[in-house]
Amino acid sequence: MSPQIFSENWRKPTTILISALSFVVFLILDFLDNFLCILYRYIDELFEGQASSCFCASKEQQVRNVGGYGEGELSETLYQRKNAFREMGFLGFAKKSRKTGGGAVVNRWSDCGCESCLSWMNDCDQKLHFVVREPSQAIADQDCRGKPAENVIFLHGFLCSSSFWTETVFPNLSERVNRNYRLFAIDLLGFGRSPKPRDCMYTLKEHLEMIEKSVICPFQLDSFHVVAHSMGCLIAIALAAKHSKLIKSITLVAPPYIPSKDGDSLRVLEKLAQRKLWPPFQFGTSFMSWYEHLGRCVCFLVCRNHRMWERIVKLLTRRRDLHFMTMDLTRHTHHSAWHTMHNVICGGAKLMDGYLQVLSKAGVKVVVIHGDKDNVVPLECSNNIQMIVPNAEVTIIKNADHSSVLLGRERDFTRRLEHIWESIAC
């Protein structure tokens, strides 16, 4: 028997076995998530006096509980996620008396209460945290040439912060750019050192309003470039479309753009977080995306105790300082990450076609950079953008994944950005 025939004979039984195992595992997770819905209800009432709302109820009940949000602002994936026990009405009694948890600044018992994680509460204006690098000779250049400094806004991806840019691009900028460009690296709402309010649903609209409130309006930006990675690309596209007369260029790195047919956000969730056991990363993504209460358990164990984990990692690696991405991984709350993932990545997909069409008609320079080994965001996402914006420049980096499309090639990436900005200035 040839090796090929032997392989084909085993392929079908293996596929059936994996499918059966997957069904059993996710069935158990469905049950556990329903059980934790009840458990968290009573624990929240014990520690906070009232139960926090969740998305185990029907869409109609959720709309009543949340309130204050317009049509389409909240993603359908929040309450249309498949769960075998929820669809059967199992444990439905736990949802009848659920109340909406409130409080804009009160920290939840399951969130970290360290000084670093609560530093945003000291800001009365509740603006985003950002790092700004002013041009070293902006005033002199403006006096000599009559031309103001260029502005660039950097937006990070999911579970990251402004460090993604300040630790990679900022140190590699040329002297000419340092003299003539003003750079803003932003911690998006709910991440890094930015506010993480409990009364916020972290919709695309709320992310945009906070960027405008924190950077665009205070600094009176009359023109700017945008550079974004991963999830930040969706916010960047929306921001650029809203300010299409001000935007000069938009650079999208590994954009998770999945066309949403007929506004079907669930299709996006199934595409980016398919319920699969293998590979492990895919399982982790589906675990955190489909199970609200199980995901909260992970955040309780990891994010709330991040200082302990950081000490352990430092001890094991014998390093005094951890990599910035390791530090950023826990700088959020479950509430902020959960709602941003659903309302921006999944729910925002149905708005992207319209936004991209606005940019195309406005003649905005759109540049897309993607790694051909990206196992987080399919390469087809970049091709989807080019179908709507035919003039978009799409660059595929060989042997690069979701992170190494930038990490490990910081200097080349920065030179590419500078070339994009200069091509607009000419």
* Phi, psi dihedral angles at 416 (to 5 degrees): -65, -45
Q: Are 300 and 112 in contact (CB under 8 A)?
A: no
**Given 44, 129, 156, 249, the catalytic residue:** 156
**Given 293, 306, 332, 402, the catalytic residue:** 402
Cα distance between residue 347 and residue 134, in whole Å: 35
Query: Does the active-site annotation cover 230?
Result: yes
**Given 75, 214, 230, 403, the catalytic residue:** 230
Query: Does the active-site annotation cover 374?
Result: yes
Cα distance between residue 270 and residue 115, in whole Å: 37
Query: Does the active-site annotation cover 163?
Result: no
Cα distance between residue 241 and residue 252, in whole Å: 14
**Given 44, 111, 187, 374, the catalytic residue:** 374
> Which residues touch 403 (CB under 8 Å, ≥6 apart)?
325
Cα distance between residue 249 and residue 225, in whole Å: 5
Calculated CA dihedral for residues 197, 198, 199, 200, nearest 10 degrees: 60
Handedness of CA 193, 199, 205, 206 (dihedral sign): negative
> Which residues touch 106 (CB under 8 Å, ≥6 apart)?
48, 198
Q: In Å, how far from its chain's centre is CA 108?
A: 22
Query: Does the active-site annotation cover 402?
Result: yes
Q: Which residues are catalytically annotated?
A: 156, 230, 374, 402
